[in-house]
Amino acid sequence: MARTWGNIFFSLLDYKTEKFVIAKNKKVGVLFRLFQLGVIGYLIGWVFLWKKGYQETEEAIQSSVITKLKGVDLTNSSQFGLQLWGAEDYVIPPQGERIFFVVTNYIVTPNQRLGYCPESPKVPDGLCNYDNECVEGETVIAGHGVKTGRCINDTGTCEIHAWCPVEHGQAPSEPLLSKAENFTIFVKNFIKFPKFSFSKSNVLPTANKTYLKTCRYDKDHHPYCPIFLVRDVINWTGYSFQDLAKKGGSVGVGIEWNCDLDKDESQCNPEYSFTRLDSSINSQNSVTSGYNFRFARYYNDAAGQTYRNLFKVYGIRFDILVNGKAGRFSIIPTVINIGSGLALMGAGVFVCDMILLYMMSKSSFYRETKFEAVTNLSTQNPQKAEKHFTCFHPENTTQTVEDFLMLNPIGFTVDV
Ligand SMILES: *[C@@H]1O[C@H](CO)[C@@H](O)[C@H](O)[C@H]1NC(C)=O
């Protein structure tokens, strides 16, 4: 038994190498080389050059957006007279957010006071013929106030307790703030890729004050100017200012940062894109298109009485969406990608083996050569076998059954 263990120990120190069968078959040979070329091409061209498989990437971009609008417009509405609109009036909310609303059109109901007046005929629940249809104390569903119990014959609506007079009228057919198309939007965007501790801003360090005062973003001539003309932004979405200004709409401005940090920092620059986010071209008249809301400004008159101006504003909502990813060389993805490429080569060996051994006209010949069936050699021709190999043979070798099974799965050792 000691001898056996010794043998096992020494045979552990043998180095085993595979024996190859070279098939002189041009078809399979060419196929295999083509497959290898394909894998190498895929690995170098697609994985490494195109997909930058040697890089570690980060898609969790941290970003901050600050906006500022400039421009004024003087409007003249029939109910309200002249009014000057500055950025503090038409940008809602005014603090320079990532999402902001620019007023382009409005209906104003000036000088509303708490009191009694007829409900608007546009509210179905406010319509009446007799007093008993206006139950005192009931609110008008989707209306403006509380019913008083009287039906007013002139308008055919209930009298209500509300801010009077109630709003009426349509949005002006020409946007009142027509100069809004010439307002400018200054977008400051700061980004950070925390994994690489890399940060940058869309306002390039080379941009000086005079440039920033006069430039307007343009894909071809001023791709890094952070100041946008409202009209241009809307035109780039495929619509015109007139389309959106009357009833309002929603526009998305995308800022895409695609940074290869193996290159110089100056190569990492934002790319802008513009889309209309609400409605499609076919739904121009649908109830869903457009964007409006109401707000009121409250005042006290000389007698101390409160009154208010009610605004229903239509406008364009801008939504600035920041996206990005960055990549930098790293050894781990490089090794993983090379490894998976090599594994793919193994698939080629398998496929070519299958074709060679089972699909060719001479397959059986190749099979015989590749697979050697070893049976008990003493019953065959021992001389022939022993010419080249020292074979397992219980009578004339020093090997044991254990040796044979454990260390020689193929069934023979090369005699050197
Ligand atoms: C906006 O500016 C352009 C060019 O400066 C001018 O031609 C156009 O009349 C302006 N639009 C409005 C509504 O004033």
- Asked if pLDDT for residue 309 goes beyond 60, the answer is yes
The closest residue, in CA terms, to atom 13 on ligand 1 is: 179
Mutate to test the pocket of ligand 1, among 75, 182, 241 (most ligand atoms within 8 A of CB): 182
- Give me the percent of the chain exceeding a pLDDT of 70: 87
> Is 178 near ligand 1, meaning CB less than 6 Å away?
yes
pLDDT in tens, 315-361: 999 999 999 999 999 999 999 999 998 898 888 888 888 988 888 88
Give strand pairing partners of 259. 326
CA of 215 to the centre of ligand 1 (A): 16
The Cα 29–Cα 19 span in angstroms is: 18
Other Cβ atoms less than 10 A from the Cβ of 328: the count is 19
Q: Is 293 marked as binding a ligand?
A: yes
- Asked if pLDDT for residue 389 goes beyond 70, the answer is no
Residues 90 and 180: beta-carbon distance below 8 Å: yes
The Cα 203–Cα 211 span in angstroms is: 11
Residue in the structure block whose two tokens are 């609303």: 101
Q: Report the range of poorest mean pLDDT among 172-176, 241-245, 264-268, 373-377.
A: 373-377
Q: Is 69 marked as binding a ligand?
A: yes
Residue in the structure block whose two tokens are 């101390």: 304
CA of 174 to the centre of ligand 1 (A): 15
- Asked if pLDDT for residue 387 goes beyond 80, the answer is no
> Is 182 near ligand 1, meaning CB less than 6 Å away?
yes
The closest residue, in CA terms, to atom 4 on ligand 1 is: 182
Give the pLDDT band of residue 381 (cuts 50, 70, 90).
Answer: low
Q: Is 312 marked as binding a ligand?
A: yes
pTM of the model: 0.75
Residue in the structure block whose two tokens are 């400018």: 184
Q: Is 68 marked as binding a ligand?
A: yes
188-191: Cβ within 8 A, 24+ apart: 188/65, 188/66, 188/67, 188/68, 188/226, 189/63, 189/64, 189/65, 189/66, 189/226, 189/255, 189/270, 189/320, 189/322, 190/63, 190/64, 191/61, 191/62, 191/63, 191/64, 191/257, 191/322, 191/324
- Give me the percent of the chain exceeding a pLDDT of 90: 57
The pLDDT of 62-69, averaged and rounded, is 95
Q: What is the β-pairing status of strands 306-329 and 249-260?
A: parallel
CA of 71 to the centre of ligand 1 (A): 12
The pLDDT of 216-239, averaged and rounded, is 92
The closest residue, in CA terms, to atom 5 on ligand 1 is: 182
Q: Is 52 marked as binding a ligand?
A: no
In this predicted structure, what is the pLDDT of residue 393? Answer: 46
Residues 184 and 216: beta-carbon distance below 8 Å: yes
In this predicted structure, what is the pLDDT of residue 403? Answer: 46
> Is 181 near ligand 1, meaning CB less than 6 Å away?
yes
The Cα 251–Cα 103 span in angstroms is: 13
Q: Coil, strand, or helix at residue 244? A: helix
CA of 25 to the centre of ligand 1 (A): 77
pLDDT in tens, 259-307: 999 999 889 999 999 999 886 555 556 666 789 999 999 999 999 999 9
The Cα 412–Cα 374 span in angstroms is: 9
In this predicted structure, what is the pLDDT of residue 1? Answer: 57
> Is 52 near ligand 1, meaning CB less than 6 Å away?
no
81 or 307, which is more confident? 307
Mean residue pLDDT across the chain: 85
Give the pLDDT band of residue 171 (cuts 50, 70, 90).
Answer: confident
Distance of CA 314 to the CA centre of its chain: 29
What spatial distance separates the first Cα and last Cα of the chain, rounded to whole Å?
27
